[in-house]
Structure 1
């Protein structure tokens, strides 16, 4: 994994975290007040999932740079 991979995976994970936070905050405000523990846990899980998904490959990084050698 290269620094380019970490940068691309990090950007993707941050975008995923923001999208998840918006969705969870929006959904919880419809039903009752925002439970920040639920928001934080869900965002953390989505961020970890994004990084793990990035291990399979990132289109932003060429196949030579994307190998785990």
Structure 2
């Protein structure tokens, strides 16, 4: 949800900032989709790791320590 709100704002601010440079580059939507997908992938990896460790039997963890 926050990605949908922040992406247009970031695009607008980047366009305004980059128009002041002599050698200007274009910012396309692919950059936002790529970073958004990367953020979602990292978040899902972290949440799934925590879910697996939370559902593990605590006796096995205590036995290893």
* Fold in common (TM above 0.5): no
Larger Rg: 2
* Structure with more relative contact order (C-alpha pairs < 8 Å, separation 6 or more): 1
Instruction: Report the TM-score, using the length of structure 1 for normalisation.
Output: 0.41
TM-score (norm 2): 0.44
